[in-house]
Amino acid sequence: MHEFLAQLINGISLGGIYALIALGYTMVYGIIGLINFAHGDVYTLGSFFALTILTALGVSGELHGVALVVDVAIALIGAALLCGIAGVLIERLAYRRLRNAPRLAPLITAIGVSFILENVMQIWKGPSPVPFPAVVPNPSVMIAGVAVGAQQMLVVGLAVVMMVALQLFIHNTRLGRAMRATAQDRDAAQLMGININKTIMLTFLIGSALAGVAGFVSGVYYQSTWFFNGFGAGLKAFTAAVLGGIGNIGGAMLGGFLIGIIESFATWKFGGQWSNVTVFAILILVLVFRPSGLLGEAVFDRA
């Protein structure tokens, strides 16, 4: 029982990271129908940006008091902002021209972008995992006999805050409405005077910024990052988005946490080497038997 709870908490923390990444997949898919394959690498980019910022601030270990709040805020916001810009640039340079191309063309392009990003990061930070300073102290609280670390709470807390903020933004602002309208029917939205390009840019900005937040959080949580992290994490987050129902923001969160928990239990029960197999098997099963996901509506073939 104790181990079960501990794994559950691990899974929820892991799931918070996947959920943050999954939001970007689901938003972009919802609005332009593209599996943004490079999104996982934007997440890695976020951890590298955060690392670079922290290094520039001279941070190499645990922080306390005001320094903790200020430096973490700078790294977090900086990583989010830079990732947001990267996402917008990727959309502008690589995807926009292909908006009306056959469906698979932008997907292939996205894979290309992913490879380019991975290679650039590999050259930038080297081919091996890079240590990430343990900036956030990790005292733990006992909950039901299980130690819950502050870092875990930070991961989950940040994820939940971001999601609530995103929901509020999408449902209560003019820009959020424009996003929803564009996702439903791009042509009609355009006729209503919505600036489609701007709306899509905004989607990439927000989605990528959230990936940046995830990148920072994962650095803090794992105290390490690697140029190739985004590939696996991206696929799992995509699985989360599909599991929750792609295009559905609440679904992405739910899916993220579920995938985190599933991975955590798979690692516990079958060993780490089976966790990927388990997650990908779930991806295949969901796509085959319930492609609309848990919360999504049926996805009709647009062909």
Partner 1 sequence: MIYAYFLIAIAVVIGAQRLPDLRAKRVLFLLLGAALLCAPIFDRNDATFNVLADAGIFVLLALGLNIVVGFAGLLDLGYAAFFAIGAYTYAMMASPQFNLHLPFWLLLFLAAAFAALFGIILGAPTLRLRGDYLAIVTLGFGEIVPQIFQNLTKYTGGPNGIGALDFPSFFGRSFGQGTIPYYYVVLALIALAVFFAYNLRDSRLGRAWMAIREDELAARHMGINTTAVKLAAFALGASFSGLAGVVFAAKLSLVSPDLFQFQVSVLIVSMLVLGGMGNIPGVVVGALVLVLVNNVVLPQANTIAATAGLHVDFGNYHFFIYGAILVAIMLFKPEGLLPSRQRKEELHHAAT
Contact residues for partner 1, defined by CB under 8 A: 33-35, 94, 97-98, 100-109, 111-120, 122-123, 127, 231, 235, 238, 242, 273-274, 276-277, 280-281, 283-284, 287-288, 291, 299, 301-303
In whole angstroms, the minimum distance from the beta carbon of 91 to partner 1 comes to: 13
Give the whole-angstrom CA distance, residue 21 versus residue 49: 16
Give SS3 for 22.
helix
Nearest approach, Cβ of residue 200 and partner 1 (Å): 17
DSSP 101: S
Nearer to partner 1, 37 or 49 (CB): 37
> What are the distances in angstroms from CA 68 to CA 48, 73, 118?
19, 8, 30
d(CA 115, CA 178): 32
CA 156 to chain centre: 13
For partner 1, the closer of residues 13 and 109 by Cβ is 109
CB of 115 to partner 1, least distance (A): 3
Question: Where does residue 229 fall: left (phi above 0), alpha (psi -120 to 50 degrees), or beta otherwise?
Answer: alpha
Shortest distance in whole angstroms from residue 255 CB to partner 1: 14
Residue 22 in contact with residue 244, Cβ under 8 Å? Answer: yes
Closer residue to partner 1, CB minimum distance, 165 or 277: 277
**CA-to-CA separations, 169 to 72, 103, 174, 210, 297, in angstroms, rounded:** 24, 29, 9, 14, 22
Minimum distance from residue 225 beta carbon to partner 1 (Å): 18
Q: Which residue number, 232 or 250, has a Cβ lying nearer to partner 1?
A: 232
Min. distance of Cβ 262 from partner 1 in angstroms?
14
> Closer to partner 1 at the Cβ: 117 or 220?
117
| DSSP category for residue 128 | S
Between the CA of residue 155 and those of 14, 16, 96, 139, 160, what are the distances in Å? Answer: 8, 6, 33, 14, 9
- The residue among 71 and 118 lying less far from partner 1, judged by its C-beta, is 118
